[in-house]
A and B are shown apart, each in its own frame.
Chain A
Amino acid sequence: QKEVEQDPGPLSVPEGAIVSLNCTYSNSAFQYFMWYRQYSRKGPELLMYTYSSGNKEDGRFTAQVDKSSKYISLFIRDSQPSDSATYLCAMLMNYGGSQGNLIFGKGTKLSVKP
């Protein structure tokens, strides 16, 4: 079993839809959870960053962490064609040594149709 599982999609939605992207993980030691967005032919860039359980909201984006279920989600409200990208979840245990290395999901490719 991989440490981090993410459905690769592709996921296609109409403009204005609510998008839900998810990852599951197996290592209960993960404490920091991130979502990266990667446009075609670009490097990943950080979108959301949360520590431990709970929700974090930033504009149209909400990141949710449920440590009891080992499940994280990214919600996109009022999705736009400019949101079309690959979304990668990432997590790490703490910042000491190799435990500070990020473990990535494989990414979900999202397409928002006008």
Chain B
Amino acid sequence: DADVTQTPRNRITKTGKRIMLECSQTKGHDRMYWYRQDPGLGLRLIYYSFDVKDINKGEISDGYSVSRQAQAKFSLSLESAIPNQTALYFCATQRQGNEQFFGPGTRLTVL
């Protein structure tokens, strides 16, 4: 079983819709991250969390919100999706002092 899972893997939605991307991990790591990846722009950090009560904005948080429901779960929401939020979204986990582990990604298309 994968250590970091993301659901859904693919999603097509319309402008203005609310959408939630979910991330779960079985690695027991405290730190969790949400990134988006766009061609030519690389990985950009949206939000990160160091524990259940800790939420921090990343480089590009506008238009996004997150919820850390438990140590193992970190959700990303788009309250009103817009076409320029079309991208590949990755969740990652990290134990302090070590590498980040990435999920398989969610391909989101906003029409």
A42 on the B face (CB < 8 A):
yes
Shortest B41–chain A CB gap in Å is 7
Shortest B97–chain A CB gap in Å is 5
Please, which residues of chain A bring their CB within 8 A of the CB of B48?
98, 101
B43 contacts A42, C-beta separation under 8 Å:
no
- Measured in the bound complex, the distance between the Cα atoms of B105 and A34 in whole Å is 20
Please, which residues of chain B bring their CB within 8 A of the CB of A42?
104-105
B56 on the A face (CB < 8 A):
yes
How many inter-chain contacts with C-beta < 8 Å in the A-B complex? Answer: 45
B74 on the A face (CB < 8 A):
no
Contact among A8, A43, A105 with B105 in the assembled complex (CB-CB below 8 Å): A43
The answer to whether residues A104 and B31 also contact, given A95-B96, A98-B56 and a CB cut-off of 8 A, is no
Chain B interface residue count: which class?
Answer: 20 to 34
The answer to whether residues A100 and B94 also contact, given A44-B102, A45-B102 and a CB cut-off of 8 A, is yes
Q: Using a CB-CB cutoff of 8 Å, which residues 62-109 of chain A contact chain B?
A: 88, 90, 95, 97-98, 100-102, 104-107
* 10 nearest A-B pairs in the assembled complex, by CB-CB distance: A43-B102, A106-B42, A46-B99, A104-B43, A95-B97, A95-B96, A44-B102, A43-B104, A43-B105, A43-B103
Residue numbers of B with Cβ under 8 A of A are: 4, 31, 33, 40-43, 45, 48, 50, 56, 58, 90, 92, 94, 96-97, 99-105
Residue numbers of A with Cβ under 8 A of B are: 6, 8, 34, 41-46, 49, 88, 90, 95, 97-98, 100-102, 104-107
